[in-house]
A and B are shown apart, each in its own frame.
Chain A
Amino acid sequence: MNNKLSAAARREENWGWFMVAPTIIGLVVLNLWPFVQTLYASFCEHEGFGHYKFIGLQNYVDMFTNAEFWKATWNTIYFCILTVPVGIALALLIAMLLNANVRFKGGFRTIFFLPLVCAPAAVAMVWRWIFNGEYGILNQILGVKIQWITDPKTAVLAVAIVSVWSSIGYDAVLLLAGLQNIPKSLYEANSIDGAGKVQQFFSITLPMVSPTLFSVLIMRLMASMKIYDLIYMMADETNPALTDMQSLMYLFYRSSFVAGDRGYGSAIVIWTVGLILLVTLVQFQGQKKWVTYDI
């Protein structure tokens, strides 16, 4: 204990610890400890019902020599490429439209935010019908006969469309908050100087909203790398395109919970965590080049 503190200050400090304890305990019990367990399990073989046997790096050897694993890694990266740039660009566009002087602004904001309020399972079910190759409305409108969810070529794209659709509202609201923090005077001064709308976007809007954009980017990329629920809901176990669309997290689910191979599943999780860590580190390095925190 710090002797320099007065009795009152120390009491206050204790209360501080007391107040943060629920969060800290929750974090340790629900996040940190399971992570340590997962790390340990990735070096073990699961013999059944929670009995683990240490086997060293065998799971990692099996994993890196497995074609299905590399396919899942690629699927995950491909999914990120499809969802993150497009999703964020669209979200920014919508945020800017909602920030402009349009009628029924409140109504539009509600509509764009609506997908987030819907249960993901319900969203996936509705989209499955939209994508249905025989009777789906999408094929009716386009006048084509694409088996969106069961064709290996389009399966990831189909999931990506649903993902973008359901996350766009949330990102747009965050970006809208960022946009509203930009002082109007900047635009006024800029237009007096004779700048056009496009120039305004690149010289004022983008730099000013960049901190929000950065956090949205980080969150969206992490969420996309962990994609699981949409695939689980949209693809059945007997979907012929399953191996062409399964993400790392889906492969983890199948290994750990369907095949009961929790050691191998844990190794996949550790690999995914490593990937996310790498990508996030790169982003934090990269932000110095484009994110402006002060005017």
Chain B
Amino acid sequence: MIKLSRTKVAVLMLILLLSLTGCGKTADGKTHLTFQIWDVYQRPGMQAMCDAYTAQHPDVEIEVQATSWSEYWTKLEASAESNTMPDIFWMHTNQLLYYADFGMLADVTDLYDDVESDYYEKHFSEISRRNASGSDGHLYGVPKDKDNGLLVYNKEMFDAAGISYPTEEWTWEDLAKLPKCADPIEDSESLDQDGRATMSNGLCYSTSARGKNREAALDVIKFFGTEEAQRIQGENGAAIPAYIGCEETWRAAFDSYNEKLDLDVIFDQFDYAVQAVYNSASPKWKSQVIDELTRIYSGNQDLMAGLENMERIVNTETAKKLEK
């Protein structure tokens, strides 16, 4: 049998321990930042923005990490709990209030004070700003993009039924007149005078309130909110930039395709779109509402009963949240 002295064993264990903790630090003197996103297709756009930043700041390196949507939130919450959040990450309106109200996100309200005191008001729409605000009205992220809901239809099904295709003039009323369509929901508040309505949502860039590289990360997301960065985002086709005046850059992404899409509809809709529905209880009711929607789509649930259920789910979860 091999005899090991106590000291030898202790030294061995120490070496083992050191080999476990030894990795991580780099010796090149640069600040290494991580940037977490949930959409692989937006990766090139995000990378291009990071490259533009690091070209001006050679002492910083940014690593873009993409995961799937569902994993993203599991990972982000776990990292927030252990204070090991990524340096920069996307924030969604579903989750923003949950993170912001718990003090997990850095307050970026004053980020552009040295540039313009009304930077956000000037360059981002009210919806964009509200999507990045916590319950206290402070901004916890720099607006990234904006979207809105569209009606997509299957030409073959319209042909088969002998009905003419929907046109730009169509309102929700016209849609409801189609066979097998439900009655329109009578909520005049969300419709404009022409009977049109859509919802708009948007993401923002956030950083942890207690991150190790907080200052460096804040400087990067400050850049992400500039016209230059938002333009890069649009040109790479990642998403429609939130920065007012940069929206059209997104068209460039479609230049290489022969099939021309009618993009004007999307841009026109921003004029009357309302903010997407969310509140601080969103993480609680969202999956239940999706379950209910799936039941309606698969024909297992009557539309009106389903909508009533959804309303009840949202109200119950919101009331529970407000009780606290």
A: which residues have CB within 8 A of B?
47-50, 150, 237-240, 242-243, 254, 257-261
B295 in contact with A240 (CB, 8 Å): yes
Q: Which of B81, B283, B294, B295 contacts A259 (CB 8 A)?
A: B283
Contact (Cβ within 8 A) B294 A242? yes
* B4 shortest CB reach to chain A, Å: 10
B287-312 with Cβ < 8 A to chain A? 287-288, 290-291, 294-295, 297-298, 300
Does B229 interact with chain A (Cβ within 8 Å)?
no
Q: Say yes or no for B142: interface residue by CB 8 A criterion.
A: no
By a CB distance below 8 angstroms, the chain B residues around A260 are 77, 98, 283-284
Determine whether B102 belongs to the interface, using a CB cutoff of 8 Å to chain A. yes
When chains A and B are docked, how far (Å) is the Cα of A238 from the Cα of B324?
Answer: 31
Asked whether A242 lies within 8 Å of B291 as measured between CB atoms, the reply is: yes
| B64 part of interface (Cβ distance < 8 Å) | no
The 6 closest A-B pairs by CB, nearest first: A240-B298, A50-B81, A257-B74, A49-B81, A258-B287, A240-B294
Nearest-neighbour CB distance to chain A for B58, whole angstroms, equals 36
Contacts of B81 in A (CB 8 A): 49-50
The yes or no answer to B104 lying at the interface (CB within 8 A) is yes
Known A-B contacts: A50-B81, A259-B283. Give 15 more (CB < 8 A): A47-B324, A48-B102, A49-B81, A49-B102, A150-B298, A238-B290, A240-B297, A242-B291, A243-B291, A254-B287, A257-B73, A257-B74, A258-B70, A260-B98, A260-B283
Closest chain-A Cβ to B5's Cβ sits at a distance in Å of 13
Contact, CB under 8 Å: B290 / A261: no
Q: B287 to A259, Cβ gap below 8 A?
A: yes
CB < 8 Å neighbour of B300 from A47, A237, A240, A258:
A240
Contact B98 A237 (CB under 8 A): no
Closest to A261 in B: B284
| B291 close to A259 (CB less than 8 A) | no
Complex Cα gap A259–B95 (Å): 11
> How far, in whole Å, are A227 and B117 apart by their CA atoms in the complex?
55
Provide the main secondary structure of the chain A interface.
loop
User: Is B80 an interface position by the 8 A CB rule?
Assistant: yes
From B285, which residue of chain A is reached at the shortest CB distance?
Answer: A259
Contact (Cβ within 8 A) A239 B294: yes
Looking at the assembled complex, report how far the CB atom of A59 sits from the nearest CB atom of chain B, in whole angstroms: 13
7 A-B interface contacts by CB (under 8 A): A49-B77, A237-B287, A237-B290, A242-B291, A258-B287, A259-B283, A260-B284
Q: Could you tell me the distance between the alpha carbons of A150 and B290 in the complex, rounded to whole angstroms?
A: 16
Shortest distance from the beta carbon of B286 to any chain A beta carbon, whole Å: 8
B7 to chain A, nearest CB (A): 15
Residues of chain A within 8 A (CB-CB) of B298 are 150, 240
- Can you list, as one digit per residue, whether each of B73-110 has a CB less than 8 Å from chain A (1) or not (0)? 11001001100000000000000001000101000000
Q: Which residues of A contact B288 (CB under 8 A)?
A: 259
Tell me the smallest distance from the CB of B172 to a CB of chain A, in Å: 24
| Residues in chain B within 8 A of chain A (CB atoms) | 70, 73-74, 77, 80-81, 98, 102, 104, 283-284, 287-288, 290-291, 294-295, 297-298, 300, 324
A58 to B287, CA, bound (A): 21
Closest to A238 in B: B294
Interface centre among A49, A239, A243, A261 (most CB of B within 10 A): A49
Least CB distance from A228 to B in Å reads 14
The smallest C-beta distance from B319 to any residue of chain A, in angstroms, reads 15
Instruction: Provide the bound-state CA to CA distance between A47 and B300, in Å.
Output: 34
Find chain B residues with CB under 8 A from A258 CB: 70, 73, 287
Chain A residue, CB-CB nearest to B81: A50
| A-side contacts of B324, CB under 8 Å | 47
**Chain B residue contacts of A49, Cβ below 8 A:** 77, 80-81, 102, 104
The distance from the CB of A179 to the nearest CB of chain B, in whole angstroms, is 38
Chain B's closest residue to A68 (CB) is B291
| CA distance in complex: A258, B287 (Å) | 7
Closest chain B residue, CB of each to CB of A258? B287
| Chain B: minimal CB distance from A158 (Å) | 17
Do B287 and A48 touch across chains, with their CB atoms under 8 A apart? no
| Neighbouring A residues of B300 by C-beta, 8 Å | 240
- Which A residues lie within 8 Å of B295 (CB)? 240
A241 to B, closest residue via Cβ: B298
- Inter-chain CA distance A50–B324, complex, in Å, is 16
**Shortest Cβ distance from residue A281 to the other chain B in the assembled complex, whole angstroms:** 34
- CA–CA, A240 and B300, complex, Å: 9
Complex interface: chain A residues within 8 A of B297 (CB): 240
- Smallest CB gap from A18: residue in B: B9
How many Å from the CB of B17 to the closest CB on chain A?
13
Expressed in whole angstroms, the minimum distance between the Cβ of B287 and any Cβ of chain A is 5
Whole-angstrom distance from the CB of B14 to the nearest CB of chain A?
Answer: 16
In the complex, which residues of chain A have a beta carbon less than 8 angstroms from the beta carbon of B102?
48-49
B97 shortest CB reach to chain A, Å: 11
Q: How far is the CA of A254 from the CA of B290 in the complex (A)?
A: 12
User: Which residues of chain B are near A240, meaning CB under 8 Å?
Assistant: 294-295, 297-298, 300
* A261–B77 alpha-carbon span in the complex (Å): 12
A260 to B73, CA, bound (A): 10
Contact of B284 among A150, A239, A257, A259 (CB under 8 A): A259
Chain B residues near A242 (CB-CB < 8 A): 291, 294
Assembled-state Cα–Cα distance A239/B290 (Å): 10
Q: How far is the CB of B10 from chain A (nearest CB, A)?
A: 12
**Cα distance A261–B290 when bound, in Å?**
17
What is the CA–CA distance of A50 and B82 in the complex, to the nearest angstrom? 9
Contact among B70, B74, B80, B284 with A237 in the assembled complex (CB-CB below 8 Å)? B70
Q: How far is the CB of B69 from chain A (nearest CB, A)?
A: 9
Q: Name the residue of chain B whose CB is nearest to the CB of A240.
A: B298
